[in-house]
Amino acid sequence: MFNPVSPRDAVAHLQPDIWASVNRLHIRKMIAEYAHEQIIQPSYRHVKEGWVCYVLKPDLPDIEYRFRARVLRLHHWYILTESIEKLVNGQPVPLDALAFIVEFSEQLNMDPALLPVYMEEVAATLYGSAYMHAQGGPSSAQLAAAGYQEIEHAMTGHPRFIANNGRVGFDAADYRSFAPEAAEPFALLWLAGHRQCTEFTSIAPLDYASVLQQELGDTADAFNAMLEAKGLNPADYIFMPVHPWQWYNKLAGIFAPDIAAQRLVLLGYGQDQYLPQQSIRTFFNIDQPQKYYVKTALSILNMGYVRGLSPYFMRTTPVINEWVYNVVEQDPYLQETGFCTLREIATTGYANHYYETATKTDNPYKKMLASLWRESPLSKIKQGQRLATMAALLHVDPQGIALLPEFIRLSGLDAEQWLRQYIHCYMSPLLHCFYQYDMVFMPHGENIILVLENHVPVRAIMKDIGEEVSVINTDAALPEAAARLHVTVPDNVKTLPLFTQIFDGIFRFIAAILVEHMDFQEQRFWELVANVVQEYQQRHPQLAHKFLQYDLFVPEISPDALNRLQISNNRQLRNRANPFDVPSVGKLDNPIAAFKTSAYAKLALVNE
């Protein structure tokens, strides 16, 4: 079931010219994002040909980096890639991303015990980047007209995190089998967990039998027969899908007592073939795309977390999803925008009683065996529409060509028309969820699916609801099973998710791509953002008091510092009980504050 990879094939893409290219690109990102978070401080030298020349000195003597850049809004560093050079004792030397980390380790202020793992994650990220560059495509022009899965598998990871594709735990063969950018289709394994240890939960009226019938069909009968042949009663068990890597590397050993006692029984591979999505542990059924997405525990370290799934969370995930879904479906404005959610409609979770009783604290050993089923996004589109991950808007292909301008070019619209439509369909519903319902999501590029018509975004679909939605008003009425959504947040930071996820995590990069690849005025982009905010406010005068209380036009903002988070603890970025207790990048000028208009004065009058 796995791709055979010879020792030579495992490193065939690690060629000197490719390695030099991906190191240069990664150092560009490192300088830009570390400087954005004020971890490092480049020094101004002089202006040359419209660019500011900077020098950056590491902790070690006789080494310096030189580059040309322009600092855009939100302290975003637009660095001229080819200008970056490293000098040792005044002599140029090749760029080396891992050496960069070593040289700046004191400024990074990383725990020495965490530093080698962080370096391993960066090395693995470079390994994957080299693989994608060696493949050479598809180009941005091709992707602009491509299908959902082709776009999905061309993405290169989170724009902010330096170690964004570490996948610590995968070997070189696993990478070729299971990494989204490299994987061939594969089947999922199925296990049977005894009901004493296993729970199934779903939204009404969906039940276990109907999920099994859709996902397994006649294969379920064959699995039942396997249990009966062992003298076991199928009615005593719940079937669950697992990632093949998880079985071979974690479950077969760590769950050995349960397997020997037949509390956990291996059934075999399912018939359908899947492709992993950007999140690496979510799978799209390519044989029967109308079937559900499947998400499983995958105990590899990737971008700040060991990617398990909590059986405890699985119990309440369908209830949470149904509550959010109903809020969205019953709100006229959200329906007008076309915003919708992909429900996680059924879950399974297996509790290993040894690890549950050994420690009361949360840990990855308690999250090794769980799965969920999520609606397919194909069920949410009409004829003539297609899907694209929002991460695509930040994509630059191996030839250095950005995808966003290609979408705009194919649409036939001018850039302002296209951007206005995109900003509205993405941001307006998120503003409404915040101001009307005190509800915030994690709407980064991988979590939003855009619905396109004629290459123009017309709707946004939100996914990953169960783990990444919060209600920041503890007085808000929630179903008892959804009570874990409540997060106590001081009023002065309630807008932080909007500024961090939307402004700093998405719009900052879109603005830079527009400047670099389309010569589009950055100020005009932020004015378009401000216009969408004001249009939303004018549509909802009944919320004027909240617009003033949670003001998006404040002079300064302080987004979360994601790399500082990862550097401080590369196994748990956020405390889910207090996700707002994080370091910031420092105070930045709010790029839409300058567009605060007389309309705001009218809001104040309405509030009075």
Report the candidate in 68, 163, 80 with the shortest Cα–Cα distance to residue 114.
163
pLDDT per residue as tens digits for the range 380-424: 999 999 999 999 999 999 999 999 999 999 999 999 999 999 999
Report the candidate in 124, 147, 353, 372 with the shortest Cα–Cα distance to residue 240.
372
pLDDT for the residue 572: 73
- What is the Cα–Cα distance from 68 to 53, expressed in whole angstroms? 4
CATH number of 9-136: 3.30.310.280
Mean pLDDT across 583-601: 87
Q: Is the pLDDT of residue 597 over 70?
A: yes
**Residues carrying CATH 1.10.510.40, the chain:** 389-605
What tokens appear for 510 in the block?
Answer: 């879109």
Q: How far is CA 446 from the centre of its chain?
A: 4
- Beta strand 456-462 with 340-341 is parallel
pLDDT for the residue 568: 87
Measured in Å, how far apart are the chain's first and last C-alpha atoms? Answer: 67
Query: Which string of b and e fits 251-290 if b means at least 16 CB within 10 Å?
Result: beebbeebbeeebbbebeebebbbbbbbbbbbbbbeeeee
Q: Is the pLDDT of residue 599 over 70?
A: no
* Cβ-contact 141, 264 below 8 angstroms: no
Per-residue confidence at 309, pLDDT binned at 50, 70, 90? very high
pLDDT for the residue 3: 59
Tokens 């003597």, residue? 61
Give 35-83 as a DSSP string: HHTTSS--EEEEEETTEEEEEE--SSTTEEEEEEEEEEGGGEEEE-GGG
Q: Is the pLDDT of residue 100 over 80?
A: yes
Q: Is the pLDDT of residue 578 over 80?
A: no
Mean of the per-residue pLDDT values for the chain? 94
Alpha helices in 293-340 (DSSP H): 311-329, 332-337
Tokens 């020495």, residue? 112
Q: Is the pLDDT of residue 435 over 70?
A: yes
479 in the Ramachandran plot: left (φ > 0), alpha (ψ -120 to 50) or beta? beta
* Cβ-contact 68, 54 below 8 angstroms: yes
- What is the Cα–Cα distance from 433 to 193, expressed in whole angstroms? 38
Mean pLDDT across 50-70: 95
Mean pLDDT across 135-154: 94
- What is the Cα–Cα distance from 303 to 564, expressed in whole angstroms? 12
pLDDT for the residue 5: 85
Mean pLDDT across 163-171: 94
Tokens 């200008």, residue? 83
pLDDT for the residue 337: 98
Residue 80 CB neighbours (<10 A): 15
* Cβ-contact 40, 87 below 8 angstroms: no
Q: Which helix (H) or strand (E) holds 354?
A: helix 353-358
Per-residue confidence at 605, pLDDT binned at 50, 70, 90? low
Most confident of 176-185, 442-451, 577-586: 442-451
Tokens 């527009």, residue? 514
Q: Up-side HSE of residue 317: CA atoms within 13 Å toward CB?
A: 31
Alpha helices in 144-255 (DSSP H): 148-152, 172-178, 208-216, 219-229, 244-246, 252-254
Is pLDDT larger for residue 579 or for residue 135? Answer: 135
pLDDT for the residue 582: 85
CATH number of 389-605: 1.10.510.40
pLDDT above 70 coverage of the chain, percent: 97
Q: Which helix (H) or strand (E) holds 306?
A: strand 305-306
Q: Angle formed by the axes of helices 208-216 and 219-229, to 10°?
A: 110
* Cβ-contact 186, 274 below 8 angstroms: yes
Amino acid residing at 485:
L
